[in-house]
Amino acid sequence: MADAFNAEQTRYLEGFAAGIGAARITGGLAGGPAAAPAPEPTGPDAIHLKAQDATVKAGGKLCDQEKWKRAESPFDGHNRLKAEAAQGKAPKPEDNFRWRYHGMFWVAPTQTSFMCRLRIPNGVLHHWQFSGVADLADAHGGGYVHVTTRANLQVREIAPEHAQPFLDGLADIGLGAQGAGADNIRNVTGSPTAGIDPQEILDTRPLAKSWNNWILDDRSLYGLPRKFNVAFDGGGVMPVLEETNDVGFQAVEVLEDASVAPGIWMRLVLGGISGHRDLARDTGVVLKPEECNQVADAIIRVFIENGDRTNRNKARMKYVLDAWGFDKYLAAVEDKLGRKLERVDPAHIAPRKPTSRYSHVGVHPQKQPGLNWVGVVLPVGKMLSDEVRALARIAQECGDGQIRLTVWQNFIFSGVPDAKLAEVEERVAALGFSVKAEGIRAGLVACTGARGCKFAASDTKGHAMLIAEHVERTVTALDVPVNVHLTGCHHSCAQHYIGDIGLIGAKVVVSEEGDTVEGYDIVVGGGFAETPKIGTEIWKAVKAEDAPKRVEALLHAYLAGRAGRDETFQ
Ligand code: SF4
């Protein structure tokens, strides 16, 4: 295998195989003939190679994923990956990791096939792209599509020989998946109601698209120490959960007498990672909207150079921030930029207008008179291909032709004239979906779970539906979409810590012999936007079969104790 590598790579691999690291192979250790020093890395991967070198020189042992990146770049190896997949071969673990740079996840043993996660900046699709994804799911996948909690789409059950044809098909409809997995900058989220929201102060679509293209154009921004999330909030009524991202840009109005000119600025928040019980915090920095790409780029390069390359559990940017503090991190960013960042006292920033917990479902007037957005409830985010095509036709015939995905695992139609609202509601209902902002299903979010993810301790999507059916029978007075988030493991893809009720998969021991069944630990009172909070654990190891009754009890207690419809679980 080493024949496939260049001289520098071969030296490193030999060093790792011997367990002695780069110091030996660069001639830095006494006791043997000194080898010629390795040449200084150059090219787009140099920033990563240097960070790996520094780790090894400091005595660190690179984790497997770092060694895989070094041994063969997922981009340089794409042709080999394609050729092997075309023969129907399942990828080895290191190639599964490389495929993720192209958006393809081999999800065995739960399914012996690929899952493809797309890139859809700001979550906005044309109707023909939406139906095009359904066509690709039929031609190459399982004939269904999932909406994710990053306002994105996933297609499952893609056989190896269909992996590249699926990606080629995405390109045909103006979509892609590059960098949607592994240690890369994930789908860029922005306010779902951008450009149509009466209260927004900034349309996030150009920013999300521009940042997405910035990443796509620069290979040096791939292969970070760990995955990375960036979100843009335009100050509208629908939250985008930027506080759960590594980097969040929040549109704010800076008032007179601040240290910068009054007007619209982007406030920088850093370090969100809800699965590690942390939400992004305000840095005090504000930027002009057109500076976001450059500053995000500098933040990421500081992370590339200083993130942990030895321990995957400590490799997210949060851990650099924890070790350094904001001041040191921002000073490093300013060094990269070659200038100081602007800071504003929060007292000189107008309070953000309130978000609405119901804005992602139901009918809402747009800022364009006579037009509306209509949010469709998609329990746990799943649609069959025929349903996708029918929904796309509704967008084309009754709206402005766009589908806007939200982080609430659903989507909205935009640009629907008043005269078309009844037709939209009727056609959506005929498909078995709803636009009603009430009941348990409107706020139900579940990650892939045990049906499709090897990390899952429980069947989150299946149990979410059982909870919904039980609650609909037993809590008939529920008149608001309570956020019930089910996540299968500590990766927290469904962000259970910010739900009103959050369930995280757990194996529950049921016998002295150690037999286990699927179950959950349960947290309550999480929040976001105006009420950011990590939920509090109240029950551990609840059997999945008992979860519906526990959720029922919590909902009854909430309805009995709340002061009004707008009161949250907090
Ligand atoms: Fe898989 Fe865990 Fe993410 Fe659920 S939270 S999809 S189980 S990795």
pLDDT higher than 60, residue 32: no
Q: What type of residue sits at position 256?
A: E
Counting ligand 1 atoms within 8 A of each CB, the residue from 146, 244, 312, 448 with the most, and so the one to mutate, is 448
pLDDT band at 15 (very low <50, low <70, confident <90, very high): very low
Nearest-CA residue for atom 2 of ligand 1:
489
Question: E-assigned strands of 395-469?
Answer: 402-405, 411-417, 444-446
pTM of the model: 0.89
Question: E-assigned strands of 395-513?
Answer: 402-405, 411-417, 444-446, 484-487, 501-509
Task: Give the rounded percent of residues in the chain with a pLDDT score beyond 70.
Answer: 94
Counting ligand 1 atoms within 8 A of each CB, the residue from 111, 149, 489, 496 with the most, and so the one to mutate, is 489
Instruction: Report the pLDDT averaged over residues 60-83.
Output: 96
User: Residues 6 or more apart from 185 whose CB is under 8 A from it?
Assistant: 179, 215, 221, 222, 224, 227, 228, 229, 230, 300
ipTM over 0.90: yes
Q: What confidence tens digit (pLDDT) does each residue in 514-530 have?
A: 889 999 999 999 988 88
pLDDT higher than 70, residue 193: yes
Predicted pLDDT of residue 482: 87
pLDDT band at 35 (very low <50, low <70, confident <90, very high): low
pLDDT higher than 80, residue 421: yes
Average pLDDT score, the chain: 91
CA distance linking residue 284 with residue 552, whole number of Å: 41
Instruction: Report the pLDDT averaged over residues 347-376.
Output: 95
| Phi and psi at residue 416, to the nearest 5° | -90, 115
pLDDT band at 366 (very low <50, low <70, confident <90, very high): very high
Give the ligand 1 atom nearest the CA of 448: 6
Q: What share of the chain is helix, strand, coil (3-state, %, to 5)?
A: 40, 20, 40
Ligand 1 centroid from CA 492, angstroms: 6
Contact yes or no for 118/177 (Cβ under 8 A): yes
Helices (H) and strands (E) in the chain, counts: 16, 21
CA distance linking residue 224 with residue 55, whole number of Å: 14
Predicted pLDDT of residue 565: 75
Give the ligand 1 atom nearest the CA of 492: 5
pLDDT higher than 60, residue 331: yes
Give the ligand 1 atom nearest the CA of 453: 1
Ligand 1 centroid from CA 54, angstroms: 32
Give the ligand 1 atom nearest the CA of 460: 4
Query: 3-class SS at 60?
Result: coil
Choose between 10 and 221: higher pLDDT.
Answer: 221
CA distance linking residue 48 with residue 270, whole number of Å: 22
CA distance linking residue 164 with residue 104, whole number of Å: 9
Nearest-CA residue for atom 1 of ligand 1:
453
Ligand 1 centroid from CA 156, angstroms: 15
| Phi and psi at residue 139, to the nearest 5° | -75, -35
Choose between 208 and 496: higher pLDDT.
Answer: 208
| DSSP assignment letter at 492 | -
Predicted pLDDT of residue 33: 55
Give the ligand 1 atom nearest the CA of 457: 7
Choose between 545 and 497: higher pLDDT.
Answer: 545
Instruction: Report the pLDDT averaged over residues 545-551.
Output: 95
Ligand 1 centroid from CA 488, angstroms: 5
Counting ligand 1 atoms within 8 A of each CB, the residue from 105, 460, 491 with the most, and so the one to mutate, is 491
Instruction: Report the pLDDT averaged over residues 224-253.
Output: 96
Most confident of 275-289, 403-417, 480-494: 403-417
Ligand 1 pocket by Cβ (under 6 Å): 447-449, 453, 455-456, 487-489, 491-493
Counting ligand 1 atoms within 8 A of each CB, the residue from 493, 503, 518, 521 with the most, and so the one to mutate, is 493
Q: What confidence tens digit (pLDDT) does each residue in 76-99 have?
A: 999 999 999 999 999 999 999 999
Give the ligand 1 atom nearest the CA of 494: 5
Q: Which of 210, 214, 208, 176 is nearest to 191 (CA)?
A: 208
